[in-house]
Amino acid sequence: MVTSETLSADTTAAQDLGEPKMRATDVSVFYGDKKAIDNVSIDIRTEHVTAFIGPSGCGKSTFLRTLNRMNDTISSARVEGVIELDGEDIYQSGMDVVQLRARVGMVFQKPNPFPKSIYENIAYGPRIHGLAEGKSEMDAIVERSLKRAGLWDEVKDRLDDSGTALSGGQQQRLCIARAIAVDPEVILMDEPCSALDPIATAKIEELIDELRGRYAIVIVTHSMQQAARVSQRTAFFHLGNLVEYGHTSDIFTNPREKRTQDYITGRYG
């Protein structure tokens, strides 16, 4: 188990970067009586892509969902501990959850574009959040978001086509563009490439690298290669515990914990 000493020791080198974008302190998550996450503390920084790895059922998605309160939609789920965004407790009463989910966007395993035009997929969020004054401002947001998501050139001549008519990889980039359109601070991605072929996967990985530094990015992945390629920090979860968290290169070449070593060498999971 990671203690707060080891976590802060690990982040000393990063201390001059200032406060983390998100901080979880002693977070536990229950489904009914069953504890799925046990006392997890972690800092998430804009400067790094953070990968969550670990065997199936260890709680990666559960913990990820606590970061933008997506677990609120699961009636049996209960969260203990504190999660802060820029120092503000996101579970405090009075928190505007719709606003929170714009600040902390999410991209799911299966691309889920709205059954609407490509343009409307992007424009929907900015419209409900009142981010554009008129049509030309909205056009600019749509173009900028699609460009940032590396999709503009492929769709600029067919913005009125349905988002669902795109290929899987394009749909996933559309979903990333949709998350970007509302100007988020954090983007959570839960196995965003698991339904994609290697070429589409490579495009998403390139995109994640380009977005790093602009948004705090957390990616859940079952692929160690992917974690090694895209992340600078890796958190290894096992049976609801955060076993080890540190520099990705250290986790993969010189893990401190035997359970991490066993996982990355394919002994279980």
Ligand X SMILES: Nc1ncnc2c1ncn2[C@@H]1O[C@H](COP(=O)(O)OP(=O)(O)OP(=O)(O)O)[C@@H](O)[C@H]1O
Q: Which is nearer to Mg ion, 54 or 150 (CB)?
A: 54
Counted residue by residue, the chain has a size of: 269
Asked if 66 is part of the footprint of ligand X (rule: CB under 6 A), the reply reads no
CA atoms of 245 and 21, how far apart (whole Å): 17
Residue with tokens 């343009």: 119
Q: Kindly state the smallest distance separating residue 81's Cβ from Mg ion, in Å.
A: 20
Q: Kindly state the smallest distance separating residue 58's Cβ from ligand X, in Å.
A: 4
Annotate each residue in 39-58 with x if it binds ligand X (CB under 6 A) or - if it does not, as one string: ---------------x-xxx
67-96 residues near ligand X, rule: CB under 6 A: 74, 76
Q: Spell out where the chain has E strands.
A: 22-31, 34-44, 49-53, 77-85, 88-89, 104-107, 186-190, 216-220, 233-238, 241-247
Q: Which is nearer to ligand X, 33 or 157 (CB)?
A: 33
Q: Which is nearer to ligand X, 164 or 194 (CB)?
A: 194
CA atoms of 102 and 105, how far apart (whole Å): 6
Q: Kindly state the smallest distance separating residue 36's Cβ from ligand X, in Å.
A: 4
Instruction: Show Cβ contacts of residue 267 under 8 Å, excluding neighbours closer than 6 positions.
Output: none
Work out what residue 74 binds among Mg ion, ligand X, none; the CB cut-off runs from 5 to 8 Å by kind: ligand X
Output Rg (C-alpha) for the chain, integer angstroms. 18
Q: Kindly state the smallest distance separating residue 61's Cβ from Mg ion, in Å.
A: 3
Q: Which is nearer to ligand X, 35 or 103 (CB)?
A: 35
C-alpha of 82 from chain center: 18
Inter-CA distances, 21 with 45, 46, 120, Å: 5, 6, 30
- Select from 61, 121, 145, 221 the one that contacts Mg ion (CB under 5 A): 61
Q: Which is nearer to ligand X, 58 or 217 (CB)?
A: 58
Binding site for ligand X (CB under 6 A): 31, 36, 54, 56-62, 74, 76
Binding site for Mg ion (CB under 5 A): 61
